């Protein structure tokens, strides 16, 4: 792990980066209020808010009933009145109980009233731990179809910290997807003293340069894609890996520049393939850069099935480096 001696730069785990982003935002702005099930005292399902009720008080760290619709509705109203609520879903899957308030109220409020809704909803999600169909889904695509929502899915620790701070500052509703598998496995350097952007803006980040094909991914799958790129390099194949920490709004410049350079594009995501974000990315690339492509765009995704409890059955469904490598070789042979 690299070291950095600059003041304010510390090594954190992914879960600690989120903890510190919340705490630092609350210290910087008294209007930031946390809401969620068992987040006071207990610290929430993953202990991310542990100790916050002692420091900030129960008025700013509020336990809510098991009523996601009511929580999001109250938070939307509070945001209209100048509060900056941050809601923790115990698991991303549970947003279904608050879907209407998210997509028909929070997302559309500015278009109806021209008043900002600075609301953040945090989504611990994803598989890899055999947690079954109610605690493992990757549901970002449900919301990418909804104008008015910003959607974030960081893969790296520094992005998790920076983008959560920016999400809290943003005047729009932001859905912040955190992959549970990364919580205690991913570590990195974070500069907590750096200025915080006041809005979420999306652009791809080139995590590895390459010339033979472009691979797009986000969240946990970015790390698996980077593993695959290392394996491809040993085979003499140069893969460029672009991480997409912000899915909406999505910047296409970096993506199209890369595809025009490599002439091949692959999308890797953990969500199920039908209706997944890979389809939208593929369409945008085809519309803007079809003349640059030397092979069909390929997707490596989860099959159209609910996540099983059995870890072995789950593992063969989640995209892994072997599947990415095999798909890349097929593309190069086209």
Print the domain residue range for 255.
Answer: 205-332
Say which residue the tokens 């996540």 belong to: 307
Query: What is the CATH classification number for the domain harbouring 279?
Result: 3.40.50.920
287 belongs to a structural domain? yes
Whether residue 156 sits in one domain with residue 250: no
Q: pLDDT of 240-276, one tens digit each?
A: 999 999 999 999 999 999 999 999 999 999 999 999 9
Whether residue 153 sits in one domain with residue 16: yes
238 belongs to a structural domain? yes
Average pLDDT over residues 99-116: 97
Whether residue 209 sits in one domain with residue 187: no
DSSP-derived secondary structure letter, 48: T
As a whole number of angstroms, the distance between CA 319 and CA 107 comes to 31
Q: Is 106 exposed, middle or buried (0-12, 13-18, 19+ CB in 10 A)?
A: buried
Catalytic residue among 19, 135, 179, 269: 135
Sequence-distant (≥ 6) Cβ neighbours of residue 59 within 8 angstroms = 33
143 belongs to a structural domain? yes
151 pLDDT above the threshold of 50: yes
Whether residue 97 sits in one domain with residue 174: yes
Residue 1: the pLDDT is 41
Q: pLDDT of 196-226, one tens digit each?
A: 988 998 899 999 999 999 999 999 999 999 9
Whether residue 158 sits in one domain with residue 231: no
184 belongs to a structural domain? yes
Residue 42 bears catalytic tag: no
Whether residue 164 sits in one domain with residue 264: no
Whether residue 216 sits in one domain with residue 164: no
Whether residue 214 sits in one domain with residue 177: no
Average pLDDT over residues 128-140: 92
62 belongs to a structural domain? yes
Whole-Å CA distances, 181 to 67, 84, 125: 26, 28, 8
Q: Which pLDDT band, with edges at 50, 70 and 90, does 68 fall under?
A: very high
Q: pLDDT of 319-328, one tens digit each?
A: 999 999 999 9
Whether residue 285 sits in one domain with residue 164: no
Residue 2: the pLDDT is 45
Whether residue 304 sits in one domain with residue 218: yes
The average confidence (pLDDT) of the chain is 95
Higher per-residue confidence, 2 vs 125:
125
Q: How many domains does the chain have?
A: 2
286 belongs to a structural domain? yes
Query: What is the CATH classification number for the domain harbouring 97?
Result: 3.40.50.970
As a whole number of angstroms, the distance between CA 244 and CA 167 comes to 16
Whether residue 138 sits in one domain with residue 32: yes
199 belongs to a structural domain? no
Q: pLDDT of 294-303, one tens digit each?
A: 999 999 999 9
Average pLDDT over residues 279-286: 98
Q: Of 253, 302, 297, nearest to 275 (Cα)? A: 302
Whether residue 220 sits in one domain with residue 109: no
């Amino acid at each position: 792990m690299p070291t950095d001696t600059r003041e304010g730069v510390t090594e954190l785990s992914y879960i600690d980066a989120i903890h510190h982003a919340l705490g630092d935002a609350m210290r910087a702005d008294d209007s930031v209020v946390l809401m969620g099930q068992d987040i006071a005292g207990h610290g929430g399902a993953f202990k991310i808010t542990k100790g916050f009720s002692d420091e900030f008080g129960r008025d700013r760290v509020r336990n809510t009933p098991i009523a996601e619709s009511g929580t999001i509705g109250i938070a939307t109203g509070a945001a209209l009145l100048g509060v900056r609520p941050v809601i923790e879903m115990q698991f991303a899957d549970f947003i279904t109980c608050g879907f209407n308030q998210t997509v028909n109220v929070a997302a559309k409020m500015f278009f109806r009233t021209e008043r900002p809704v600075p609301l953040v909803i945090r989504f611990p999600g994803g598989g890899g731990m055999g947690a079954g169909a109610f605690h493992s889904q990757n549901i970002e695509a449900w919301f990418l179809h909804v104008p008015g929502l910003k959607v974030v899915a960081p893969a790296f620790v520094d992005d998790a910290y920076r983008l959560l701070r920016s999400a809290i500052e943003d005047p729009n509703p932001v859905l912040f997807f955190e992959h549970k598998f990364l919580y205690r496995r991913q570590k990195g350097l974070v500069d907590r003293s750096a200025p915080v952007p006041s809005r979420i803006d999306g652009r791809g980040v080139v995590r590895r340069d390459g010339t033979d094909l472009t691979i797009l991914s986000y969240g946990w799958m970015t790390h698996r894609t980077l593993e695959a790129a290392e394996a491809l390099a040993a085979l003499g194949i140069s893969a460029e890996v672009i991480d997409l920490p912000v899915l909406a709004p999505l910047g296409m410049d970096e993506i199209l520049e890369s595809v025009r350079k490599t002439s091949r594009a692959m999308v890797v995501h953990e969500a199920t393939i039908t209706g997944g974000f890979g389809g939208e990315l593929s369409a945008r690339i085809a519309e803007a850069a079809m003349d640059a492509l030397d092979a069909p765009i390929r997707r490596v995704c989860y099959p159209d099935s609910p996540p099983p409890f059995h870890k072995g059955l789950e593992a063969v469904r989640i995209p892994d480096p072997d599947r990415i490598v095999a798909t890349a070789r097929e593309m190069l042979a086209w």
